[in-house]
Structure 1
Amino acid sequence: MEFFENISRWMKDHPISSNILKYLIWAVFILLTIAFLRRLLRKKLPDSAIRYKSQKAVEVLGYILLVIVTISFFTGSIKDFALAIGLLTAGITITLQELILSVAGSFYIFFVGVYKPGDRIEINGIKGDVIDVDSIYTTMMEIGQWVSSDNYSGRIVKLSNAFVFKGPVYNYSKDFPFVWDEFNLPIRYDSDIELAKTIVVQIASETLSEYVSQSIAEWQQVVNKYYIENAQVEPTLAITMTDNWIQFNLRYIVDFKKRRLTKHLLNELIGTAIQKTNGKVQLASMTVEIVRVPSMVVKQEEDPHSGVINS
């Protein structure tokens, strides 16, 4: 009892220190509660998407509560919350501009749904798969750079959420998890062009049939949601006459995560089918034909004094 009486007397004699101590106790309590709830949700929720969103919701609500407690302790009344927020914002807007934009960006990303963990995006010239979005940073597994196509580079990139306000955000998977891809195939002029067209179109249609059937329904939802015209999702072949060969351009739709694998498979199957035509269809390569070599006349004269022949 005497111990508690001493504490009570000390708190009355030192009101400022007492308020600071109370605030620290509340702050530690809130932070520990956030950590406990996050750990509990991580163990109890089996679905990774729901678990991630629940943990983020607990974290955001906890930090909001911590801000309210901080303002109420240092202003003396929760009624002064709006005034304190205004004064605080006016004082730190310039010095903490990037931080404020990052926090605002996190709310924008969360409520508008710009992207979420699992999406493949490109922002500020960096492309990768989103693996985490917190109150300040977006964390991505980087794609590209020194590796070709859509392979992981192995680097984990942390990017400020403020960048969602500073430039375009390219989302490869939101609403429509497919992308269009293409490649060119050079065919010699003396080949059987109709046979070549049949081979390319048939292999593309058979290989990509699953993507086409899945993307039709997905694309219809995009058309209904946005002001956009309908598009052809079946493989298309365009032919261009060049100086050296007939160029086949195959355009097709593919899952955004399987672009490289699908292109490899199409090239392999088409190449094998062309080889089986026994020369009826031949791939072209760059050749240089010399049409004419100009003739040169060399005139020789003998110097009468030295006897040397000059050209």
Structure 2
Amino acid sequence: MIDKKILFQGKFLIKVLVFIVILYYLCIKLNIYEYLSFLELYINEIIITVALILGTLIFLDISLELIREFFEKRGELRDYPIFASVFKYITWFIAGLIGISILYNDIGSLLMSLGIIGAALTFALQRPIMNFAGWINIVITRPFKINDRIYIKDIGMGDVYKIDTMHTYLREVVGEPTGRTLIIPNAYVLTNAITNYTKGSPYIWDNVKVVVTYESNFEKARKLVLEACEEVVGDLMKELAEI
């Protein structure tokens, strides 16, 4: 019997050959070569654009890896996704400005056109812009981070597991995890109160009631409770007290 892998490779090769033949026929029939010769007039611009895109991708790949290692060494890996998003946007924005400055001579007219287009888009895309502004607010003020447990008024409570430019994603918690996901537009951060249960601490603070009867040894009970607290969160409380 013919090996399945060899058979698959043979079929794939036949498909590639058929595709090349069809493509060659279309190029001749539609006289594609004339269109390609037209592109020769802009060959420098095409090369610059391709080189700029590839260079930016390589730069991002190297930079993000170094940034990830930096956050990992500091033990703040959960902050990496937000920082990486900001870094990508800034990098592509700078690359775009460099490309425009190279490809266009009349920068003034171009900027004026972009300003008019930007004003129209601002009016038409108010909600997405508000969400983006909310994301910027999250990045700068950091009211919450990945893995924080938060409560947003009129929305609900959950653990943050993803923050992007438009939405914040929570694993819903109602007493205990429900398995549902809350997808919250970032604009809510600008207009609603947020309660963060884990800001500055990996623990969720809560009250624990200890019932002690009148006949019990109060001092011993108090000592046992304090020893248990010291064992669980003693070091953390000392660290927080020093901040």
* Same fold, TM-score > 0.5, yes or no: yes
1:161 to 186, 202, 220: 186
Distance 1:169 1:57 in 2: 23
2:89 to 53, 56, 60: 60
Contact 2:82 2:163 in 1 (8 A): no
Matched, 1:114 2:143: yes
Structure-2 residue corresponding to 1:303: none
Distance 2:88 2:117 in 1: 22
Tell me the amino acid that sits aligned with residue 195 of structure 1: S
Count of residue correspondences: 204
Distance 1:39 1:114 in 2: 26
- In the superposition, relative to structure 1, how do residues 38 and 163 fare at CA in structure 2: closer, same or farther (>3 Å)? farther
Tell me the TM-score normalized by structure 2.
0.61
Structure-1 residue corresponding to 2:173: 143
1:29 to 30, 44, 53: 53
Unpaired runs of 5+ residues, structure 2, are: 1-31
Q: Report SS of the residue matched to 2:184.
A: strand
Tell me the amino acid that sits aligned with residue 206 of structure 1: E
Tell me the TM-score normalized by structure 1.
0.49
- In the superposition, relative to structure 1, how do residues 166 and 94 fare at CA in structure 2: closer, same or farther (>3 Å)? same
Distance 2:110 2:237 in 1: 51
Distance 2:201 2:79 in 1: 21
Structure-1 residue corresponding to 2:18: none
Contact 2:150 2:197 in 1 (8 A): yes
Mapping of 1:35-74 within 5 angstroms? 37=61, 41=65, 45=69, 47=72, 48-49=77-78, 52=81, 55-65=84-94, 68=97
Distance 2:55 2:182 in 1: 27
- In the superposition, relative to structure 1, how do residues 75 and 166 fare at CA in structure 2: closer, same or farther (>3 Å)? farther
Distance 2:57 2:130 in 1: 27
Mapping of 1:76-155 within 5 angstroms? 77-80=106-109, 83-124=112-153, 125-144=155-174, 149=175, 151-155=176-180
- In the superposition, relative to structure 1, how do residues 105 and 197 fare at CA in structure 2: closer, same or farther (>3 Å)? same
Q: Output the aligned Cα RMSD.
A: 4.5
Q: Report SS of the residue matched to 1:139.
A: strand
Q: Report SS of the residue matched to 1:114.
A: coil
Contact 1:38 1:55 in 2 (8 A): no
Contact 1:122 1:170 in 2 (8 A): yes
Distance 1:61 1:72 in 2: 17
Tell me the amino acid that sits aligned with residue 101 of structure 1: M
Mapping of 1:247-262 within 5 angstroms? none
Greater CA radius of gyration, 1 or 2? 1
Unpaired runs of 5+ residues, structure 1, are: 13-17, 222-311
Q: Report SS of the residue matched to 1:141.
A: strand
More helix by share: 2
Q: Deviations over 1:86-108 (max 9, x none)?
A: 42343123331110011112122
Structure-2 residue corresponding to 1:205: 226
Once the two structures are TM-superposed, the CA of residue 84 in structure 1 deviates from its matched residue by 4.2
Contact 2:79 2:145 in 1 (8 A): no
**Percent sequence identity over aligned pairs:** 21
Q: Report SS of the residue matched to 2:206.
A: strand
Once the two structures are TM-superposed, the CA of residue 123 in structure 1 deviates from its matched residue by 2.2
Q: Report SS of the residue matched to 1:94.
A: helix
Distance 1:218 1:89 in 2: 46
